[in-house]
Chain A
């Protein structure tokens, strides 16, 4: 089965510019997550979708970050305007409810550098 797809893999932008990331989860996975992973740290959840509804966006900086998941499949994460501290790897993950085991499958990530 195909894994979680993300694009682009790398992006370099200047501060105050905008950027968008795309994620295509594993087919049939109802839950989709966006994480921010700063160098040397663990992934931090930005937003979680269940189908096309938001379950948790408590750590999403809503003044500059936005995300959507139209039709409950693909998702985009946008940053506008970017700041230097947004430099990180942005990970997308998806999961399917399987009894009591909720495994997440991760995409390769998008490495963002803000200069």
Chain B
């Protein structure tokens, strides 16, 4: 079947610290991979995506590389800011059928 496993939170970091949120997936075929972010009181927003192996998605200083050999799509940022405090969701889209599967989310709090 298809599923996404995310690193459990919550994660608390000081401003300018390095961030890694682990994500691994199980899927048949060739899924596309996504990171979504949910700020307090808001809906989910697409943060970045990768559609094939070895692709690197990037946005707002965040990066994630689609690793087929390790079935992973870890989210990284070199220097987090207080404004990055949010819940981050890893997701995959099935190769056929257009269905999405989400991880349970990782809550990040960045303190000044």
Q: Report A's interface with B, CB cutoff 8 A.
A: 4, 31, 33, 40-45, 48, 50, 55-56, 91, 93, 95, 97, 100-109
Q: How large is the interface on B (under 10, 10 to 19, 20 to 34, 35 or more residues)?
A: 20 to 34
* Residues of B that sit less than 8 Å from A by CB: 4, 6, 32, 34, 36, 42-46, 49, 51-52, 89, 91, 93, 97-105
Contacts of A43 in B (CB 8 A): 44, 89, 102
Contacts beyond the supplied A43-B44, A102-B32: 10 A-B pairs with Cβ under 8 Å: A40-B105, A42-B4, A42-B6, A42-B104, A42-B105, A48-B98, A55-B97, A55-B98, A91-B44, A104-B100
Residue of B nearest to A41 (CB): B104
Decide: A31 near B98, CB < 8 A? Known: A42-B89, A101-B51: yes
**Given known A91-B43, A100-B51, A108-B42, contact A33–B100 (CB-CB < 8 A):** yes
Contact B98 A107 (CB under 8 A): no
Q: Knowing A100-B32, A101-B51 are in contact, say whether A42-B46 is a contact too (CB < 8 A).
A: no
Q: Contact at B99–A56, with CB atoms within 8 Å?
A: yes
